[in-house]
Structure formats: C-alpha cells, structure tokens
Amino acid sequence: MSRFLFHPNHIHLSAALSGLVLLGILSPAIAQNDTPDWTACAKIDADVERLACFDRLASVGPKAIEDDAATEEEWRQPTGDEPTPDPFAEAQAEQDSITPQTEKSEPVALKRRLESEQSGERNPFVMRGYKPNYIMPATYTPTDLSRDVYDFDPQHAETKFQLSFQFDWFEDPFGPNTALYFAYSQLSLWQTYNTEFLGAEGDASSPFRETNYEPEAGLTLDTDYSLAGLTFKRARFSLIHTSNGQGGERSRSWNRLVASTAFGRGNFAGRLRGWYRLPEANEDENPDITDYMGYGDLMLAYKWNEQTIAATLRNNLDFDNNKGAIQVDYTFPLSKRVKGYVQYFNGYGESLIDYNRSISRIGMGIALTDWL
C-alpha cells in the first residue's frame, strides 16, 4: 500500500482510501503533465482527503498515484481464480484446530485422569485420589437396618462418607510403564442424628454403624491397546483386603486377588474388574459372600461440561439365585475444588455388615474427587 496510509497526520483509513479513489479518477488529467496538478486536490472538500492528496503529490508525484490507484482497484476486485470463501468450512476448520480429529476417538477423559495422577505423583504435597472422595451428610434408606449384633436402634437417616487415596512406591520394577502401587479406601456409615439431643430414644450417641477398611497393593501396567473402538490405558493386578475391624458376631472380612483394566473413548471411560476370593486360614466369618458380591464389577462413567455421571454394576451371574447391586454417582462443579454429589445405591453389599441384605439408599453432599 502507499505510504500515506501510515502517515502520522492521517486519522482515518477509510478517508484516505476515498481520497485515493478520487485521485484515481482524476489521474488521466494529471498524467498528461509531469508537473503535479494541485488544482485537483484543491477541489476536494473534505479536509482529511484534501490533505492526503496534497501530501501524496508533494512526496511521490502523480505517477505513483496512478500505480497505487490501479493496485487498490485490483485489490478490491477478485481475480476470478480465487474460490468463494465458505463461512461454514472456516468455522469447521477453526473447530478442528481446537479439537483435532484424532482426539475424537481417543480416551480424552480417562487420559486426563491418568495424567492428573502422574502430576500428583511428582508432587510430595499432593495426595492422589483413587475412588471418589465424598461426604453425604444427608442420606436416607427405607430399609430396616436393625440387627441383633447392634446395641442401638439404627435410624433410617445417616451420614455416609468415603476416603480413598493411592501412590506408587516403586516405579519401573519390570521396565517402563510399570509400577508397584498401594491404595487405601475407607467407607463409613455414621448414625449422625441418632442422639437424645435430636429426640432419639435410648442411650445412642451418634455411633458409627459400620466402617470398612480396604488396603490394597499390586502391579500397575500402563498400556495403549485398542480394541473395538476402545483404548485400554491401564491394567492392574492386585491383592485387596477388606474388613470392618470388628470382633465376634459383627466381624466381617475377605481377601481377593483382582485383575482390572481401565478403558475409554472420548469423554467415556470404564473399569472392568474380576476377582478370586482367597480361602480363609481360620474360621470363615462370611462363607457365602461371593453369592452376594459376585466375582467382579463394571464401572462406566461419562464426563461433560465438568459434570460426571458414573454407574457401578455388580452381579453374581447366578440365574437361579440372582443377586447384584448398582450404584449411580453424579457430580457437578460448585467451586474450583468442591463438587456437588448425589448417589443412589440399590442391592447387596453396600457395606460388609450388609453384604447379605438388600438396601436402597439416596444421598447428597459434596465430593473432592470423582471417577474422572
């Protein structure tokens, strides 16, 4: 473009272009004489355009004006060789630049979860979440929770919370992408409102009805294997012990060898586990627990707009005496660190003390971490 477009005395680009077009119309008269025709500029009424005309004539002469006018005209008129812009194609190209095609089939949600775990592993002041960490002050079950082993009368409303974390204590023991890990989970059912102060009968004093302690250790193998449109990102082989820490008739525990795999596609992720119960060395406190808890479970989760919905399904696969359970978790953002949390459970094995009793429960509270 001509230099006058960037002259410090010129204020508006549109006004300068207008003056340039006008000079292009007058250029035949100017071209007949090498001496600049100042009268052509004097006829311009607008101050900015007239100043632009005089400045241009004084600096480069009439020939440059003719060349610039021709150039400007060429710029304004399409050559015919260029395709007509497609706004829809441009919008799609912009979207593709944000979300590449290859990412649409990748396990985006699961990949981000695993990358977050790795980032936390490098920070000694960060505890890596494992299962969802939540507290639900308000839960309700219509099921009668009474048992002969209790020395109190359980209420239908209670608090439920879970703490769960993990860490790698030895990296690359069998080559790259392997780790020996340890995890711990604790699930508690607390009779928060079972007190005389709140009108409860008897001498109950907000007892913990049940707490399950679950340490586990094993081998992690990170993978990148694709099958049936899914990408399998992690496999684990674990030893899991679960106990309620009680004695006598209230004692419950079992040990399992577990194999699991985590897979995903896009915002969808899942985890499939299968287990084998190890025989008890001493007296078996719950010999029929696999009849109710089955031999594995399946967790499916989906994430969108910072919300996560997940369902965990378990079944003994016995068609003659079928037993199972389903738990649905829903989280949504409340703040940068805290999420709203809603949970629904129905079936057997919500806790060890209730492994052989079907319970339905709805609750709500807050969560610090979820499955994704």
Nearest to 348 by CA among 131, 139, 143, 154: 143
CB atoms within 10 A of CB 92: 11
C-alpha distance from residue 364 to each of 160, 235, 292, 329, 361 (Å): 9, 32, 26, 10, 10
Is 241 a catalytic site residue? yes
Asked if 192 contacts 206 with a C-beta cutoff of 8 angstroms, the reply is yes
- Give the bridge partners for 299, in sequence order: 271, 312
Q: Which of 243, 251, 260, 358 is catalytic?
A: 243
How many whole angstroms separate alpha carbon 225 and alpha carbon 156?
Answer: 46
Nearest to 296 by CA among 266, 335, 256: 256
How many whole angstroms separate alpha carbon 237 and alpha carbon 94?
Answer: 43
Is 243 a catalytic site residue? yes
Where residue 80 falls (left for φ over 0; alpha for ψ -120 to 50; beta otherwise) is left
How many CA atoms, within 13 angstroms, populate the side-chain half-sphere of residue 330?
7
Where residue 143 falls (left for φ over 0; alpha for ψ -120 to 50; beta otherwise) is beta
The dihedral built from the CA positions of residue 99, 105, 109 and 112, taken in this order, carries a sign that is negative
DSSP reduced 3-state for 52 = helix
How many whole angstroms separate alpha carbon 370 and alpha carbon 25?
Answer: 71
Q: Which of 10, 18, 116, 241 is catalytic?
A: 241
Q: Which residues are catalytic?
A: 241, 243
